[in-house]
Amino acid sequence: MSYFRENIENTPGYTPGFQPAGADVVKLNTNENPYPASPKVLEAIRNVSSEQLRRYPKPLGDDFRLAAAEMLGVSADNIICTKGGDELLSICFRAFCDDNRPVAYPVPTYSLYPVLAQLQNCRRVEVDFGGEFSLPAELADTNAALTIVCNPNAPTGTFIKPEDLRELAKKLNGKSILLIDEAYVDFAEGDCVGLACDFDNVIILRSMSKGYSLAGLRFGYGIACRQLIDGLRKVKDSYNVDAVSVAAATAAIKDRDYFRKNVEKVKADRQILTVELKRLGFTVTESKANFLLAQLEGAGGIYRKLAEQNIYIRYFDQPHLSDKLRITVGTKVENEKLIGTLKKIISM
Amino acid sequence: MSYFRENIENTPGYTPGFQPAGADVVKLNTNENPYPASPKVLEAIRNVSSEQLRRYPKPLGDDFRLAAAEMLGVSADNIICTKGGDELLSICFRAFCDDNRPVAYPVPTYSLYPVLAQLQNCRRVEVDFGGEFSLPAELADTNAALTIVCNPNAPTGTFIKPEDLRELAKKLNGKSILLIDEAYVDFAEGDCVGLACDFDNVIILRSMSKGYSLAGLRFGYGIACRQLIDGLRKVKDSYNVDAVSVAAATAAIKDRDYFRKNVEKVKADRQILTVELKRLGFTVTESKANFLLAQLEGAGGIYRKLAEQNIYIRYFDQPHLSDKLRITVGTKVENEKLIGTLKKIISM
C-alpha cells in the first residue's frame, strides 16, 4: 500500500535543471544571471547578527516589503514575500485550485505549472500559444479558477504587451485570478504592476533570482490588491522568509544603480548573441528575457554535442520546442565559447 | 464574490507569537533559545560567496543532509531539509491529507496543526490528552491518514516515552503515517529516530530553531525511510532551502560541543526556574522542553500584569490551559527578573 494521496503517488514531481560542477564548464542551462549580485548584498549578509538568527524573524519580511513598495510605487500591504517565486506559485495553487477548480495557462511554458496542478489535484486547461506566441483568445473562456501567464514567457522569451493582459484581466474579472509570472520581467521593457493596482483579480509574481543574481538565496514576492494578499498570507508558512534572506534581498532591491547596469549588460549581450546565432543559421525568437530560444534543424543533436564539450544549454523534447535550443545569456567569454563551439559543430 | 477556495476563505490563519521590541523587554513567550548560536554559524554565513548566491542551490541541501545523517547514524537518503519544521508539517498535510483523509492528534498541542488541516480541507480528529498528558489509547483507532504527536509536547512540555510511541507506530502501520514532532527534543532525554528506521510509516520532525538558537534562519528537517522521503520530496518546492541557510545550519549541527553546552545550560536553568515557581505556589508540569507550563489560580491576570511590566510569557485561554502560564526558559537574568516580578504580583 502507499500512505500517500493517489495524486501524489502518481506524480513524478519536478525535475530541477541539471547543475554541472567543474571550473571549465560553461553553464547556460538554468537562466542564472552571469554577473554577481550587488556588493551590498554580501555586506548585508555579513552584518547579520546572532541575535537576528536567535529570534523568530518578522513574519511578513517587513524591510523587504517596504523597499519593494517604494520601488514600485505601491503600498507594503500590496506585497507578499515568498521563498522564491516558486513558493508564490505553490501558495496560489493551494489558495485557488482543487479538484473542482481548474488552472489554465498557455503552452509551452514553465514546466512547474503542471506539476503543481498535479500536487493540488486540479484539472489543467492547457491552451496552445500558437506559432507567434501571442495571447490565445480562448484563455478568457476556460472557466479556470486560476489563469497563469508567464511574461516574458519561459522557455520562449516572448513578451505579451501589458495592454493585452489588461484586456484579459478585465474579461476574467469576477471569474478567475490572473497570475502574471514576471520572473524574467527585469530584462523586458514594461511590466504589469499597474494591473495589480487596478484589478482585484490580478497577482504579479516577481523573483530575485534572475535580475538580481540571487538564485541561491530563494527570494521572490507577489504584488496584488490588499484583499488577495491577506488571503495568500493565510496559506503561506507563518515564517516563510528568514532573517538573512530578507536582509540580503532588501539590500539587492535598494541598489538600483547596480541593478540597472547589470540588466543593461545582459540585454546588450543578448543582442550580440542573437546576431551571432542568426549568422550561424539559427532562427531566433525575439527575447525579452535573459535567454534565447534558437531554432535549427538537428537541435537535439547539437545540444548533445555541446554537452560533450562541457557546454550546457537546455533542450525540451516536446511540441513547439523539439527543433529549438534554449540558451541562457552568459558572460561575454561564455557566449563567445558557445558560438565558437557551435561553429565547429554545425560545419561538421 | 471571493476568488479563494471556501476552506481558505473561512480559515482565520495562524497567528504568530507576539514579538515585542525594545531593549528592556523580557521575552519569554515564543520559546527561543536564550543563548546565541555557535560562532561557527556566523563564520559560515560570512563565508558565503557571491557565486553561491548567483547559482541555484543544490535542490536537497546535500551538505546538511550528510552532516545530520552522520550525527544521527542514518543515511542522507533518510533526510529531507525544510524551511523550518513548519514547512515539513505543511508538506505532510499536502502529501497525506485531503477531504477524505483526516488528521488526528492529541490536544492540547501545537496550534498550527488545526490551521494546516483547514488549509488542506481535511477533517480533524482531536483526542483529549487527559490530565496526565500520556498517550491516549484512542489515537490508534482514529482511521486518520496522518497521526501527529508532538513530543516533547507544546505547550505542556510533557514527554511520552519512545517505547509508547513504538507501540503506536506498530498499531498504525499499514493504516496511518505517524509524524512525531520533535521540535523540542534537544532538551529531552531520548528520542524516536530509531522508529524512523524500523517503521515505514514514521516521520520524525526536527527543528534548528530551539536547540541550535536559529529561529531566525528557518531550518528544519525530517527523518524517515527512503520511500517516504522520496514522496515528500515531490511535494516540497524544487529549491526549498537556500544556499546561506544550508551553510549556516550545517555549521550549527556539526558543532556538537557548543550544542551540548548550550542545551545543558538551558536544562539547568529550567530546573532552577521550576523550583522557584513551585516556591511561589505554582504547580509545574515536569518539562522536557525549553519552557515550563505553570498552573496557578488567576493565571490570566498574572499574564496581563507581567505584560504591563514588559515581561512577556504565553497564555492560552482554552481547555486544560486557561489556569496555566507557558514560560520560556530565559537567561539567568531574565528568569530572575521574572521570578522577582511574579513575587510582587502574587503578594499584591
**What residue type is A141 in one-letter code?**
D
Measured between CA atoms, the residue of chain B closest to residue A146 is B3
Whether A10 maps to a domain, the answer reads no
**CB < 8 Å to B101, chain A:** 5
How many A/B residue pairs have CB atoms within 8 Å?
228
* Closest by Cα among B232, B211, B205 to B150: B205
Burial of A297 (0-12, 13-18, 19+ CB in 10 A): exposed
Measured in degrees and rounded to the nearest 5, phi and psi for residue B216 equal: -75, -15
Alpha-carbon gap: A327 to the closest alpha carbon of chain B (Å): 16
What local confidence, expressed as pLDDT, does residue A171 receive? 98
Q: Label residue B320 by pLDDT band (50, 70, 90).
A: confident
Asked if the model's pLDDT at residue A1 lies above 80, the reply is: no
**CB < 8 Å to B3, chain A:** 96, 145, 176-177, 201, 228, 231
Whether B1 maps to a domain, the answer reads no
B180 Cβ under 8 Å from any chain A Cβ: no
Measured between CA atoms, the residue of chain B closest to residue A15 is B238
**CB < 8 Å to B4, chain A:** 95-96, 231
Residues B305 and B218 in one domain: no
What local confidence, expressed as pLDDT, does residue A23 receive? 77
Query: What is the DSSP code (8-state) at residue B290?
Result: S
Residues B298 and B329 in one domain: yes
**CB < 8 Å to B112, chain A:** 238
Instruction: Write b or e for each residue in A191-230: b if 16 or more Cβ atoms lie within 10 A of its Cβ, otherwise e.
Output: bbbbbbbebbbbbbbbbbbbbbbbbbbbbbbbbbbeebbe
Dihedral over Cα of B279, B280, B286, B292: its sign: negative
Least trusted range by pLDDT, from A140-154, B12-26, B280-294: B12-26
Instruction: Write b or e for each residue in A305-321: b if 16 or more Cβ atoms lie within 10 A of its Cβ, otherwise e.
Output: bbeebebbbbbbeeebb
Whether A25 maps to a domain, the answer reads yes
Rounded to an integer, the average pLDDT of B38-67 is: 97
Q: In sequence order, which residues have a C-beta less than 8 Å from that of residue A12 and are 6 or more positions away?
A: B234
* Closest by Cα among A79, A116, A87, A115 to A204: A79
> Over the stretch B235-244, which tens digit does the pLDDT of each residue have?
999 999 999 9
Query: What is the DSSP code (8-state) at residue A134?
Result: P
> Over the stretch A89-131, which tens digit does the pLDDT of each residue have?
999 999 999 999 999 999 999 999 999 999 999 999 999 998 8
Residues B244 and B319 in one domain: no
Residue identified by cell 464574490 is B1
Element containing residue A294 per DSSP (H, E) = strand A291-295
Across chain B, what does the average pLDDT equal? 96
**CB < 8 Å to A96, chain B:** 3-5
Which CATH number is B236's domain given? 3.40.640.10
**How many whole angstroms separate alpha carbon B311 and alpha carbon A51?**
18
Which residue did the predictor score with more confidence, A134 or B18?
A: A134
Residue identified by cell 558572460 is A331
> Over the stretch A187-234, which tens digit does the pLDDT of each residue have?
999 999 999 999 999 999 999 999 999 999 999 999 999 999 999 999
Residues B189 and B118 in one domain: yes
Rounded to an integer, the average pLDDT of A246-266 is: 98
Residues B163 and B196 in one domain: yes
What local confidence, expressed as pLDDT, does residue B15 receive? 85
**What residue type is B90 in one-letter code?**
S
- Is the distance from CB of B146 to CB of B93 less than 8 angstroms? yes
Q: Which residues pair with A220 in a beta bridge?
A: A82, A207
Asked if the model's pLDDT at residue A15 lies above 90, the reply is: no
Asked if the model's pLDDT at residue A287 lies above 80, the reply is: yes
**How many whole angstroms separate alpha carbon B48 and alpha carbon A89?**
28
B262 Cβ under 8 Å from any chain A Cβ: no
B213 Cβ under 8 Å from any chain A Cβ: yes
**How many whole angstroms separate alpha carbon B265 and alpha carbon B34?**
10
Q: In sequence order, which residues have a C-beta less than 8 Å from that of residue B345 and are 6 or more positions away?
A: B302, B305, B306
Nearest to A216 among B30, B54, B145 (CB): B54
The verdict on a CB contact (< 8 Å) between A214 and B53 is yes
What local confidence, expressed as pLDDT, does residue A95 receive? 98
What local confidence, expressed as pLDDT, does residue A37 receive? 98
Nearest to A242 among B9, B216, B238 (CB): B216
* Closest by Cα among B73, B71, B95 to B82: B95
Residue identified by cell 518539562 is B287
Residue identified by cell 524544487 is B238
Does the ipTM exceed 0.90? yes
Rounded to an integer, the average pLDDT of B262-285 is: 98
**CB < 8 Å to B33, chain A:** 54
Residues A168 and A66 in one domain: yes
The verdict on a CB contact (< 8 Å) between A176 and B217 is no
**CB < 8 Å to A176, chain B:** 3
Note which residues in 75-134 of chain A have CB less than 8 A from chain B.
83-84, 86-87, 90, 94-98, 101, 112, 119, 121
Asked if the model's pLDDT at residue A24 lies above 90, the reply is: no
**CB < 8 Å to A44, chain B:** none
Dihedral over Cα of A113, A116, A120, A123: its sign: positive
Q: What are the percentages of helix, strand and coil residues in chain A, rounded to 5?
A: 45, 15, 40
Whether A7 maps to a domain, the answer reads no
* Closest by Cα among B146, B144, B139, B141 to B91: B146
* Closest by Cα among B219, B188, B194, B225 to B206: B219
Q: Which among B198, B223, B255 is the end of a domain?
A: B255
Across chain A, what does the average pLDDT equal? 96
Helical spans, DSSP H, in chain A: 6-10, 39-46, 50-54, 62-72, 84-96, 112-119, 162-172, 193-198, 226-235, 243-254, 256-279, 299-308, 332-347
Whether B297 maps to a domain, the answer reads yes
Residues B60 and B192 in one domain: yes
Helix (H/G/I), strand (E/B), else coil: A237: coil
Q: CA angle, corner B260, sides to B254 and B266, nearest 5?
A: 130
Rounded to an integer, the average pLDDT of B121-128 is: 98
The distance from CA B200 to its chain's CA centroid, rounded to whole angstroms, is 23
The total domain count for chain A is 2
Asked if the model's pLDDT at residue A278 lies above 90, the reply is: yes
**How many whole angstroms separate alpha carbon B322 and alpha carbon B54?**
50
What local confidence, expressed as pLDDT, does residue B62 receive? 97
Asked if the model's pLDDT at residue A66 lies above 80, the reply is: yes
Q: What are the percentages of helix, strand and coil residues in chain B, rounded to 5?
A: 45, 15, 40
Nearest to A95 among B4, B32, B84 (CB): B4
DSSP B175-194: T-EEEEE-TTGGGSS--SHH
What local confidence, expressed as pLDDT, does residue B132 receive? 86
Element containing residue B233 per DSSP (H, E) = helix B226-235
Instruction: Write b or e for each residue in A27-57: b if 16 or more Cβ atoms lie within 10 A of its Cβ, otherwise e.
Output: bbbbbbbbbbbbeebbebbeebebebbbbbb
What local confidence, expressed as pLDDT, does residue A16 receive? 83
Alpha-carbon gap: A238 to the closest alpha carbon of chain B (Å): 6
The verdict on a CB contact (< 8 Å) between B3 and A121 is no
What local confidence, expressed as pLDDT, does residue B348 receive? 78
B12 Cβ under 8 Å from any chain A Cβ: yes
Rounded to an integer, the average pLDDT of A69-86 is: 98
* Closest by Cα among A144, A191, A143, A132 to A165: A191
**Alpha-carbon distance values, A150 to A3, A109, A211, A322, B237 (Å):** 34, 7, 16, 20, 18
Which CATH number is A318's domain given? 3.90.1150.10
| Beta pairing class for A311-312 and A324-328 | unpaired
A33 Cβ under 8 Å from any chain B Cβ: yes
What local confidence, expressed as pLDDT, does residue A218 receive? 98
The verdict on a CB contact (< 8 Å) between B239 and A218 is yes
What local confidence, expressed as pLDDT, does residue A17 receive? 79
- Is the distance from CB of B255 to CB of B36 less than 8 angstroms? no
Residues B288 and B343 in one domain: yes
A260 Cβ under 8 Å from any chain B Cβ: no
Whether A13 maps to a domain, the answer reads no
What local confidence, expressed as pLDDT, does residue B224 receive? 98
Q: Which residues pair with B152 in a beta bridge?
A: none
For A81, the domain range is 39-254
Q: In sequence order, which residues have a C-beta less than 8 Å from that of residue B177 and are 6 or more positions away?
A: A3, B92, B96, B145, B146, B147, B201, B202, B203, B228
Residues A216 and A69 in one domain: yes
Q: Which among B206, B226, B255 is the end of a domain?
A: B255
Alpha-carbon gap: A248 to the closest alpha carbon of chain B (Å): 10
Nearest to B235 among A8, A84, A244 (CB): A8
Residues A75 and A109 in one domain: yes
Residues B222 and B244 in one domain: yes
Residue identified by cell 483526516 is B102
Q: CA angle, corner B12, sides to B7 and B14, nearest 5?
A: 110
Whether B127 maps to a domain, the answer reads yes
Residues A198 and A264 in one domain: no
How far does chain B reach from its first CA to its final CA, in angstroms? 54
A300 Cβ under 8 Å from any chain B Cβ: no
Whether A2 maps to a domain, the answer reads no
Residues in chain B: 348
| Beta pairing class for A202-207 and A220-223 | antiparallel
Q: Label residue A248 by pLDDT band (50, 70, 90).
A: very high
Q: Label residue B219 by pLDDT band (50, 70, 90).
A: very high
Helix (H/G/I), strand (E/B), else coil: A279: helix
Measured in degrees and rounded to the nearest 5, phi and psi for residue B146 equal: -135, 125
**CB < 8 Å to B213, chain A:** 50, 53-54
The verdict on a CB contact (< 8 Å) between B238 and A86 is yes
Alpha-carbon gap: A220 to the closest alpha carbon of chain B (Å): 12
Q: Which among A236, A254, A272 is the end of a domain?
A: A254
Nearest to A239 among B96, B218, B248 (CB): B218
